[in-house]
Amino acid sequence: MKSTPKGMRLHIGLFGRRNVGKSSLLNALTRQNVSIVSNVAGTTTDAVEKPMEMLPIGPVLFIDTAGIDDVGALGEMRVQKTRQVFDRTDIGLIVAEAGLWADFEEAIFSELQQRHIPVVVVFNKCDIAQPAAEHLARFSEDGVPCVATTAETGEGVLDLREALIRTVPDEFINPPTILGDLVPSGELAVLVVPIDMEAPKGRLILPQVQSIRDILDNDAYCMVVKERELRDALDRLKRPPALVVTDSQAFLKVAADTPEDVPMTSFSILFARFKGDLGEYVRGTMAIENLMPGDRVLIAESCSHHPIGEDIGRVKIPRWLQQYVGGKLEFVHTQGHDFPEDLATYKLVINCGSCMWNRREVLSRIMHCQQAGVPCSNYGLTIAYSLGIFERALRPFPSAEEIYREMAPEISSTGL
Amino acid sequence: MKSTPKGMRLHIGLFGRRNVGKSSLLNALTRQNVSIVSNVAGTTTDAVEKPMEMLPIGPVLFIDTAGIDDVGALGEMRVQKTRQVFDRTDIGLIVAEAGLWADFEEAIFSELQQRHIPVVVVFNKCDIAQPAAEHLARFSEDGVPCVATTAETGEGVLDLREALIRTVPDEFINPPTILGDLVPSGELAVLVVPIDMEAPKGRLILPQVQSIRDILDNDAYCMVVKERELRDALDRLKRPPALVVTDSQAFLKVAADTPEDVPMTSFSILFARFKGDLGEYVRGTMAIENLMPGDRVLIAESCSHHPIGEDIGRVKIPRWLQQYVGGKLEFVHTQGHDFPEDLATYKLVINCGSCMWNRREVLSRIMHCQQAGVPCSNYGLTIAYSLGIFERALRPFPSAEEIYREMAPEISSTGL
């Protein structure tokens, strides 16, 4: 029962041709203090995801790109499924046969470099051949860790682990806080958690659990309450809380029951910052102002669940957006790692809360939208905007509020 | 991400000989509004567990007992691995070939009847033969639902679903509350959640999440706080909470910081009641008083996790118990569904919080202990007893407290 959410794991993309020893290398790492939790088949890609506990790094997810394992597949490297692997790779691990570094390896290396993804190069099968001195010199010059291994015997595998540990991004070692900066140590946050039909028996959804944990990790504490009991819960306090966070679906009720001087926002907006780029999302959200009936809107969900009842992505957001726009919009839905190659036909892209994506994947999506010139938002920001409480929900985040004010000078600063 | 904890699913044991059509029947049920979530290989039995969503029942877990599929295996029916399936079966589904009801089926039927486990009988392959009239009459007389199916064509499968729905125990449809009766609607509970090394990044453990959810489901609300911030959190309230619940590991600190007139207990004690038999556990726990150095104690954990640091089952409980007893005890650990056939050599059995077991399995373990005359306790009660705060932790549960008072007349009723 003790497993780390997938989106919080360090994603290590494993690239290399067929028969270069990728599996042996993974097994060799496994024997050395790595425990395989389980194999999870990728939902929409050919890549196989292997969650592991790799001390001292902690929870990692190896993405085994068996699908692009030879030069033949190289021509396809920019197609969607492969791009999806790069889109979520925190560290790229390129495995080459000792002495063999050719166009295939170079293409992967250059894709990773362009994306500023840290790389570790492994020359495997060193019992058969030696890495070329020119290759070693080149990576050493570029400051790219380069390790010689013989996976079969375990030779060099400890060096590889050390290289991986040295390459772990700071962001993973000192992850950003979800709301720790908004709720000082010893302070109180109130989390408003509606229980709807989609909430599974005996569970809370992941962003709620992660927020509670983040608050505790920051030596603060929280009150967890449904929207109906919020007013009583606030009345019970001698001093108001430092922050009220609500599920976006209860935004209006919570905004009404939270005193105007108490900071208030939503889980989705917190996660826009934690796992994405809040400023960029604010800019993207304000494109709602220019939506016209008939425009195409992409709604991208990270998890595949059976929509039940008033599903937020299928029913509520379309309804609220269309009410705001005053006419029918054309909605397209994607799930999991799927994301359209051609974004140009969309007037707006709305990501979900992104429970199942890592931060790199969300940032990659934002990047693709920027490149295509398409505004990008998420559920919480879209709902807040459609319901007219955008400014209030942004108030806890001064730089995001600033972007809003610059873009909407005609809107009064007094809030609702 | 939206999945129900395994221990909360309705466990349907699927019994029947090889080639009787168990898999086809499961597939036929699947095609009718049942979605397979994933296949989970049993950790210690040969039974394969298949979690599904079966509307309108909700989350179920089929336990496919392929291991006892013919008369040859019948002689082994009472061996441990098979017993483990009966131990956790909420509904027994016996699949027989139409017209063929013999010793094998009768033995399973009688084992289920003895255990008061509701049964549904299926006569499959009705395209080949018809169920014998005498069998139908017999089950009809006994009030046991009996359905004729042809899984291959789907014939009768709807009837089977209806029979299963009618057979669902009341307890599953109206599950007992974890702490709803102790925290009235509109009231507040304080949950004390230490964050230790074993707590996975970004997570809370299951009993904590289930308790929060139970509180919300009962229109109450809660404060979630680490033990260090508890005193401040209580100070912030205009009125004290209806209940303080702590992780057993922080019992002493929480008992000290919670005013004497505020009811206080632990998650483990709540789960002793929710998933077991609190009264029986109280009786079992008091056997600690008679433990002698050298006695054997069984510590049974429902999940398999890598013990890290000061593991509660491996380090803390043994230490506290031995301090109480004043000498070395002999500890034996089991994990998952494993449970010794011969309990007689143990002086005490201590179950964990039971996250991964359903209620039926916990009650079966208590029953096996009773039959062997071995006292049975759980983590929270053992810790409370060893640390000298047993009575206070039981005070929220009058009938359990009564058992304690009867068994320990010499102990003052003024608590600590």
| Residue linked to tokens 């290398």 | A25
Q: What is the pLDDT of residue B369?
A: 94
How far CA B409 is from CA of B344, B381, B398, in Å, comes to: 28, 19, 16
Terminal CA-CA length for chain A: 44
Is residue B413's pLDDT more than 60? no
Q: Determine the Cα–Cα distance for residues A389 and A255; give it in Å rounded to an integer.
A: 8
Judging contacts by C-beta atoms under 8 Å, the chain A residues touching residue B205 are: 1-2
Q: What is the pLDDT of residue B232?
A: 97
Q: What is the per-residue pLDDT across B27-63, written as a single tens digit (0 to 9) for each?
A: 787 654 343 333 333 333 356 778 777 767 778 888 8
Comparing A238 with B127, the larger pLDDT belongs to A238
Is residue B163's pLDDT more than 50? yes
Mutant choice from B221, B355, B359 vs A, greatest count of A C-beta within 10 A:
B221
Question: What average pLDDT does chain A have?
Answer: 85
Give the helix ranges, DSSP H, for A192-338.
206-217, 230-235, 251-257, 267-275, 278-285, 317-325
Identify which of A123, A118, A157 has the alpha carbon closest to the alpha carbon of residue A10: A118
Identify which of A394, A299, A403, A310 has the alpha carbon closest to the alpha carbon of residue A352: A299
Question: What average pLDDT does chain B have?
Answer: 85
Whether A169 and chain B come into contact, CB under 8 Å, resolves to no
What is the share, in percent, of chain A residues with pLDDT greater than 90? 49
Q: What is the per-residue pLDDT across B66-89, written as a single tens digit (0 to 9) for each?
A: 655 554 554 454 455 667 888 889
Q: What is the per-residue pLDDT across A241-292, written as a single tens digit (0 to 9) for each?
A: 999 999 988 999 999 999 999 999 999 999 999 988 999 999 999 999 999 9
Asked if residue A94 lies in contact with residue A22, where contact means CB atoms within 8 angstroms, the answer is no
Query: A37: nearest CA in chain B?
Result: B305
Q: What is the per-residue pLDDT across A52-91, written as a single tens digit (0 to 9) for each?
A: 777 677 788 888 776 555 545 444 544 556 678 888 899 9
Highest-confidence segment of A49-53, A69-73, A164-168: A164-168
Picking from A140-144, A254-258, B317-321, B407-411, which range would have the lowest pLDDT averaged per residue? B407-411
Q: What is the pLDDT of residue A186?
A: 96
Instruction: Find residues 278-337 of chain B whose CB sits inside 8 Å of chain A.
Output: 303, 305-306
Task: Report the residue from B202, B215, B220 with minimal CB separation from A210.
Answer: B202
Contact assignment for B237 to A233 by CB distance below 8 Å = no
Distance from CA of B371 to the nearest CA of A (A): 31
Using a CB cutoff of 8 Å and minimum separation of 24, what contacts does A40-43 make?
A42/A337, A43/A304, A43/A335, A43/A336, A43/A337
- Secondary structure element (H or E) that encloses residue B51, with its range: strand B48-54
Q: What is the pLDDT of residue B416?
A: 41
Distance from CA of B178 to the nearest CA of A (A): 10
Comparing B401 with B29, the larger pLDDT belongs to B401
Q: Sheet containing A296-301: which strands, arranged edge to edge?
A: A330-335, A296-301, A348-351, A376-378
Q: What is the pLDDT of residue B236?
A: 97
Tell me the angle at which helices A278-285 and A359-372 cross, rounded to the nearest 10 degrees: 40
Q: Write down the ipTM of this complex.
A: 0.79
Is residue A368's pLDDT more than 70? yes
Q: What is the pLDDT of residue A413?
A: 43
Distance from CA of A392 to the nearest CA of B (A): 25
SS (H, E, C) A264-289: EEEHHHHHHHHHCCHHHHHHHHHHHH
Average pLDDT over residues B290-315: 82
Query: B38: nearest CA in chain A?
Result: A40
Q: Are strands A48-54 and A58-64 parallel, antiparallel or unpaired?
A: antiparallel
Q: Determine the Cα–Cα distance for residues A331 and A333; give it in Å rounded to an integer.
A: 7
Is residue A415's pLDDT more than 80? no
Q: What is the per-residue pLDDT across A199-211, written as a single tens digit (0 to 9) for each?
A: 667 788 888 999 9
Contact assignment for A1 to B222 by CB distance below 8 Å = no
Picking from A300-304, A365-369, B149-153, which range would have the lowest pLDDT averaged per residue? A300-304
Contact assignment for B2 to A193 by CB distance below 8 Å = no
Question: DSSP strand E in B364-412: where?
Answer: 376-378
Asked if residue A217 lies in contact with residue B199, where contact means CB atoms within 8 angstroms, the answer is no
Picking from A66-75, A399-408, B9-18, B108-117, which range would have the lowest pLDDT averaged per residue? A66-75
Contact assignment for B200 to A229 by CB distance below 8 Å = no
Judging contacts by C-beta atoms under 8 Å, the chain B residues touching residue A201 are: 4, 8, 58-59
Task: Report the residue from B59, B201, B213 with minimal CB separation from A8.
Answer: B201
Q: Determine the Cα–Cα distance for residues B368 and B251; give it in Å rounded to an integer.
A: 30
Supply B402's token pair: 């009564």
Q: What angle do CA A266, A270, A275 make, to 5 degrees?
A: 140
Judging contacts by C-beta atoms under 8 Å, the chain B residues touching residue A220 are: 229
Query: B207: nearest CA in chain A?
Result: A202
Is residue A38's pLDDT more than 50? no
Q: What is the pLDDT of residue B74?
A: 47
Using pLDDT thresholds of 50, 70 and 90, give the confidence band for residue A182.
Answer: very high
Q: Which domains does chain A have, with CATH numbers?
A: 6-173 (3.40.50.300), 188-268 (3.40.50.11420), 281-407 (3.40.50.11410)
Supply B286's token pair: 């008091």
Q: B268: exposed, middle or buried (C-beta count within 10 Å: 0-12, 13-18, 19+)?
A: buried
Distance between alpha carbon A285 and the CA centroid of its chain, in Å? 18
Task: Report the residue from B4, B236, B305 with minimal CB separation from A202.
Answer: B4
Identify which of A387, A394, A401 has the alpha carbon closest to the alpha carbon of residue A253: A387
Judging contacts by C-beta atoms under 8 Å, the chain A residues touching residue B226 are: 216, 219, 221
Q: Determine the Cα–Cα distance for residues B331 and B348; give it in Å rounded to an integer.
A: 10
Is residue A372's pLDDT more than 60? yes
Asked if residue A95 lies in contact with residue A150, where contact means CB atoms within 8 angstroms, the answer is no
Distance between alpha carbon A165 and the CA centroid of its chain, in Å? 21
Asked if residue B214 lies in contact with residue B245, where contact means CB atoms within 8 angstroms, the answer is no
Is residue B106's pLDDT more than 50? yes
Q: What is the pLDDT of residue B414?
A: 41
Whether A245 and chain B come into contact, CB under 8 Å, resolves to no
Supply A11's token pair: 């994603």
Terminal CA-CA length for chain B: 44
Q: Are strands B119-124 and B188-192 parallel, antiparallel or unpaired?
A: unpaired
Contact assignment for A237 to B236 by CB distance below 8 Å = yes
Comparing A328 with A337, the larger pLDDT belongs to A328
Comparing B218 with B199, the larger pLDDT belongs to B218
Distance from CA of B363 to the nearest CA of A (A): 20
Q: What is the pLDDT of residue A286?
A: 95
Q: What is the pLDDT of residue A77?
A: 46
Q: Determine the Cα–Cα distance for residues A310 and B23; give it in Å rounded to an integer.
A: 35
Query: B241: nearest CA in chain A?
Result: A236
Instruction: Find residues 344-363 of chain A whose CB sits inside 8 Å of chain B.
Output: 355-356
Instruction: Find residues 42-71 of chain B whose CB sits inside 8 Å of chain A.
Output: 53, 58-59
Mutant choice from A203, A267, A312 vs B, greatest count of B C-beta within 10 A:
A203
Is residue B355's pLDDT more than 90? no
Tell me the angle at which helices B359-372 and B80-88 cross, rounded to the nearest 10 degrees: 130
What is the share, in percent, of chain B residues with pLDDT greater than 70? 86
Is residue A118's pLDDT more than 60? yes
Q: Is A415 left (phi over 0), alpha (psi -120 to 50) or beta?
A: left
Q: Is B198 left (phi over 0), alpha (psi -120 to 50) or beta?
A: alpha
Instruction: Find residues 177-216 of chain A whose CB sits inside 8 Å of chain B.
Output: 186, 188, 193, 195, 198-206, 209-210, 212-216
Number of CB pairs < 8 Å for A and B? 153
Using pLDDT thresholds of 50, 70 and 90, give the confidence band for residue A191.
Answer: very high
Is residue A184's pLDDT more than 90? yes
Average pLDDT over residues A35-39: 37
Task: Report the residue from A1, A200, A216 with minimal CB separation from B356.
Answer: A1
Contact assignment for A220 to B237 by CB distance below 8 Å = no
Q: What is the pLDDT of residue B66?
A: 63
Amino acid at B323: Q
Whether B121 and chain A come into contact, CB under 8 Å, resolves to no
Q: What is the pLDDT of residue A134?
A: 84
Using pLDDT thresholds of 50, 70 and 90, give the confidence band for residue A49.
Answer: confident
How far CA A202 is from CA of B4, B266, B355, in Å, comes to: 7, 18, 11
Instruction: Find residues 220-239 of chain A whose CB sits inside 8 Å of chain B.
Output: 220-226, 228-229, 232-233, 235-239
Task: Report the residue from B3, B214, B226 with minimal CB separation from A216.
Answer: B226
Instruction: Find residues 70-99 of chain B whose CB sits inside 8 Å of chain A.
Output: none
Supply A209's token pair: 């659990």
Q: Determine the Cα–Cα distance for residues A71 and A75; give it in Å rounded to an integer.
A: 8
